[in-house]
Structure 1
Amino acid sequence: MTGKMGWIRGVATVAIAAMTFTMVSPKVFASDHREAPTVDGIPEGDLTDVYVFTDPNDSTRCVLIMNVNPFSNSSEAASYAFSPDLLYQFKIDNTGDAKEDLVIQAVFDQAGQSQTASIYGPALPTTTGARNTLLSSAPTATGKFGTVFGTSGAVQAYFGLRDDPFVFDFAQFNRILNNTQDLFRQVGTFRGRPVRTDGTSGVDSFAGFNVTSLVVSVPKSMLRGSSSKINVWATVSSRVPTRQGAKTYQQFERQGQQAFATIFIPKGAARDAENFEIPEHDVANYSALIPDALTTVDNDGSGNTIAGRAAVLTSLGLTALPNGAPLLLPASFNNPSKDLLRIALLPDVLRFDLDLDPSNPAIGQFGLQNGRTLSFSSIDVPLQLLRQLSDVHFPSGIPGGGSLGSRVALDCSGFNPPTTTCTDRRVNVVLQGTQFIKPDSTIANYVTVGNDQPFLTTFPYVANPAPLPGEPGTIGYPPQQ
């Protein structure tokens, strides 16, 4: 990079580093697929994703989904099921204190796909926190693997093999971090995938893989509390040996928002510790890991505002195709609070407004999104928000380059091109704001994303499992460009 354009291009590259925060090893950035040491050895207890949304066929009902068994190979489809030794739970906070007021529990009677599930709740939990007891009431629904069961007017459920709805160009992500590629899409001299004839350049690394899904549909009236807003997260717990055969379980895995742990929590023991923890402790435990948000006022006298960040990105052509995705937030987005990201991300739960129009993603209103639908672009949208909102300490003369003072910001103050650049390759991952998995003709609507198998229009909504290799519908990777 030389001259003024090189300087601007370099500054924008560093600016977008804000999106990545403390993102760690590329081997674990895959929503929550294989994200921590403990669950890496327990695939039946490894939560990949959690979804909460209004039933598209009945606005009075809420659908909750948890997926386990990441990277399930369709050639070995018959080997995947839930574990009879584990307790699977949806936890619902309807009073706003990040402590479960209701639980939906699922247990399974045997290993393998001949198993029967017993669904309990929604009901008041016997105990709250990381150690839980199976509800003593009768199951609200029971059924077999691969079938829809329960009562249409009350609790309905399904569990079985499904196509993984998570969409991410994980292979190119790794190439960028390993410095064999620079961007998701080639721009100028920067290495990246070329545009194909269908207007895409990305490859969904999860296409063709399955997960094991537990899907529960309940009337919203069963979940409602003091307001229309609820917090939802999922947990998996292992049986604790006790006297007299009490059915007590200890949590070892949890998930709320997609990719929270993999972005913000260092890998290894810290990731396990987060999985063992409970949401009511998240603000105290993890606030320091999240930087300040940009606001509509100048934080440091250098033009370090939401509008200033948008201007830098726009000046480089990174907010228009074919080189990048449009800005998700307008430059005039009003945010008076430097704690916006902490408020949106902590505690680590899915926030869901039972009364909000299902077509409204509610980005930034009271969380990262309103619940999470199957078609929600769960990678591009969060990165877009962080690209525009995270505070970064830049060199003098660049927005954010003023005195650091009491700001909590990413430190890029040593950036001095052309001799000194940011060596963290994660900057390049987020430069364009999209993976270009969708055709350019539809990329303007990146709040939603496609899937390798079509989602069902009726319950349980998750797409049918990927077919055996060679059968109709098989998903193959395009040749590496």
Structure 2
Amino acid sequence: MLGVAAALTAAACVASLAPAISQASSHREAPLVAGEPQLDNTDVYAFVSPDSPSTVTMIANWVPFEEPNGGPNFYPFASDAAYDINIDNDGDARADLIYRWTFNDNYRSKNTFLYNTGVVTSLDDPDLNYLQTYKLEAITASGSTVLVNNGRVAPSRVGPASMPNYQQLADSAIVGLPGGGRTFAGQADDPFFLDLRIFDSFYGGDFSEVGQDTVRGYNTNTLAIQVPKSVLALKGDATRNPVVGVWSTTSRQRIEVVDTQNNRNRYGGWQQVSRLGMPLVNEVVIPVGRKDEFNATAPQNDAKFLPFVTNPEVPRRIQDIYKIPAPATPRQDLVEVFLTGVCKACGPVAVDLNSQRLNKDVDPAKFVPSEQLRLNMSIAPAATPNRLGVLGGDNAGFPNGRRLADDVTDVTLRVAEGVLLPNHPAAVDGLGDAVDANALPFRQRFPYVALPNVVAVNQN
């Protein structure tokens, strides 16, 4: 398979390939979406399905830090937004395929304050007072095709007294797709794991503040879709063209009118307000004055953010705190993994891994560097996955896409500090946040995410 394993053995530094400074997560990263969590896409995952290797699973999450006991309204998707997963298979930094979810609110009665009025045993249960439905479209240059109409969203997990068999409710929200595949919309445990005390002078100024999974116990809203590889591949040929780029976006209609009853009416075309491919990019790569701009920018225009990649802030701050020398700039190694994907023709990292330029039917002259999560679909799932992905010798993992259990934070810290570069300081090889796995085990079948937490995060 592209000789990746052999090449990585010969050049060990390549093993920690990671996008730019930060491939971890994007919770509350920009001023606009920090105040509108329904629009805030927190993580994107893309991987060859371990139990169905002829398919690819893509997962995107929204609404960070959902405390389990968040009633009475809990955590719906926005009914005035478009939630998209975008796929670029020819490397021109434009979506060749968009999966778009739009949602509707449904109340059985508005004469109660309750989310559910009794024990809920099914999505059709009359005691489920509030239920969201969705339309899922596949959008290409040829137009839009409705894949699911009136799909049911798995409700927020109210608690064991209200929903004694939540597993059954969640499973019943999985919907088959025409031509093969399936999709899921609903609440789940937040699959990301890390110690967010990175923002306290990068783990306390002496790495004393590590080891606490900051997002443990919180939930998130999940959209998952599993489709045959041929659906995603350029010209439908996943053998000749195995690499795709993936990112999620949230859009809202441009104009809002609020009437005297506080009804909010929106109209006008869709405006992108949030974007996520390589998570944490907007949090720690893009400066605060450009964050909302980045969220509104399409990937084909990413060149204007290039200086923040070639001259990243994080290594300079780590040098100030820990005296680990920042790698020399400009960082062409980060340009390759961040904007082009990894290939021998792409830059200084001489390995063919996950750039769309590896697709045989791609015109290199039309390739546009851009920030995406790139997946080589020809790499089979690992029998024994390693949390460090390629760093651990597992080419089926991050940064070749991203699996739920990939420890992207540890990989990212090392990449930011130059582990791709020769003669990097020895201290770089052991950097990490001491949070190595999610608190809950992931499911072994679609949609793979763990069920939502039901115990309050605050136990004091």
TM interval, short-chain normalised? 0.5 to 0.7
1:18-29 equivalences in 2 (<5 Å)? none
Opposite residue 158 of structure 1, the aligned amino acid is F
Matched, 1:107 2:102: yes
Cα distance in 1 between the residues matched to 2:255 and 2:201: 46
1:215-234 equivalences in 2 (<5 Å)? 215-225=224-234, 227-234=241-248
Cα distance in 2 between the residues matched to 1:232 and 1:42: 23
1:326-371 CA distances to partner (integer Å, 9 max, x unpaired)? xxxxxxxxxxx96221021122110011111233845699997111
Closer/same/farther in 2, CA of residues 151 and 209 from structure 1, 3 Å limit: same
Closer/same/farther in 2, CA of residues 211 and 22 from structure 1, 3 Å limit: closer
Matched, 1:143 2:146: no
1:9-408 equivalences in 2 (<5 Å)? 31-76=25-70, 79-110=74-105, 114-121=131-138, 123-125=139-141, 136-140=144-148, 142-146=150-154, 147-151=173-177, 154-171=180-197, 173-177=198-202, 181-184=204-207, 192=208, 202-225=211-234, 227-240=241-254, 248-267=269-288, 269-282=289-302, 284-291=303-310, 339-346=332-339, 347-359=370-382, 361-362=389-390, 369-389=399-419
Cα distance in 1 between the residues matched to 2:381 and 2:250: 28
Opposite residue 387 of structure 1, the aligned amino acid is E
Opposite residue 272 of structure 1, the aligned amino acid is D
Opposite residue 193 of structure 2, the aligned amino acid is V
Q: 1:153: how far off?
A: 5.3
Q: 1:177: how far off?
A: 4.7
- 1:436 aligns with 434
Opposite residue 124 of structure 1, the aligned amino acid is T
Q: 1:140: how far off?
A: 3.9
1:137 is paired with a residue of what secondary structure?
Answer: strand
Higher relative contact order (CA 8 A, sep 6+): 2
Cα distance in 1 between the residues matched to 2:251 and 2:19: 30
Query: Which stretch shifts more, 69-78 or 137-146?
Result: 137-146
Aligned residue among 437, 443, 447 for 1:456: 443
Q: Is the 8 A contact 1:91 1:232 kept in 2?
A: yes
Cα distance in 2 between the residues matched to 1:61 and 1:475: 39
1:93-126 CA distances to partner (integer Å, 9 max, x unpaired)? 11111111111111011278501011111x4147
Q: Is the 8 A contact 1:292 1:390 kept in 2?
A: no
1:241-281 CA distances to partner (integer Å, 9 max, x unpaired)? 59xx98831111100012112221001x3000001001111
2:414 is paired with a residue of what secondary structure?
Answer: helix
Q: Is the 8 A contact 1:163 1:209 kept in 2?
A: yes
Q: 1:167: how far off?
A: 1.0
Closer/same/farther in 2, CA of residues 390 and 266 from structure 1, 3 Å limit: farther
Q: 1:391: how far off?
A: 7.8
Q: Is the 8 A contact 1:183 1:432 kept in 2?
A: no
Q: Is the 8 A contact 1:120 1:138 kept in 2?
A: yes
Closer/same/farther in 2, CA of residues 381 and 94 from structure 1, 3 Å limit: same
Q: Is the 8 A contact 1:48 1:70 kept in 2?
A: yes
1:456 is paired with a residue of what secondary structure?
Answer: coil
Opposite residue 356 of structure 1, the aligned amino acid is I
- Measured on the aligned residues, the alpha-carbon RMSD in Å equals 3.8
Closer/same/farther in 2, CA of residues 204 and 93 from structure 1, 3 Å limit: same
Identity score, percent = 29
- 1:302 aligns with none
Cα distance in 1 between the residues matched to 2:397 and 2:59: 19
Closer/same/farther in 2, CA of residues 97 and 362 from structure 1, 3 Å limit: farther
Closer/same/farther in 2, CA of residues 76 and 344 from structure 1, 3 Å limit: same
Q: 1:165: how far off?
A: 1.1
1:84 is paired with a residue of what secondary structure?
Answer: coil
Closer/same/farther in 2, CA of residues 368 and 343 from structure 1, 3 Å limit: farther
Q: Is the 8 A contact 2:86 2:246 kept in 1?
A: yes
Cα distance in 2 between the residues matched to 1:115 and 1:234: 21
In structure 2, list runs of 5 or more residues that go unmatched: 1-17, 108-129, 155-172, 236-240, 257-265, 313-321, 325-329, 340-369
1:114-167 CA distances to partner (integer Å, 9 max, x unpaired)? 01011111x4147xxxxxxxx643334642111111248524111111111111
1:168 is paired with a residue of what secondary structure?
Answer: coil
Cα distance in 1 between the residues matched to 2:75 and 2:445: 23
Closer/same/farther in 2, CA of residues 151 and 464 from structure 1, 3 Å limit: same
1:38-84 CA distances to partner (integer Å, 9 max, x unpaired)? 11121111011111111111001111111111010001165101111
Closer/same/farther in 2, CA of residues 20 and 103 from structure 1, 3 Å limit: closer
Closer/same/farther in 2, CA of residues 476 and 378 from structure 1, 3 Å limit: farther
TM-score by length of 1: 0.62
1:401-459 CA distances to partner (integer Å, 9 max, x unpaired)? xxxxxxxxxxxxxxxxxxxxxxxxxxx9x89501122xxxxxxxxxxx41111111111
Closer/same/farther in 2, CA of residues 340 and 37 from structure 1, 3 Å limit: same
Cα distance in 2 between the residues matched to 1:144 and 1:275: 29
Cα distance in 2 between the residues matched to 1:273 and 1:241: 18
2:417 is paired with a residue of what secondary structure?
Answer: helix
In structure 1, list runs of 5 or more residues that go unmatched: 1-18, 24-28, 127-134, 185-191, 194-200, 294-312, 319-336, 393-398, 401-427, 438-448
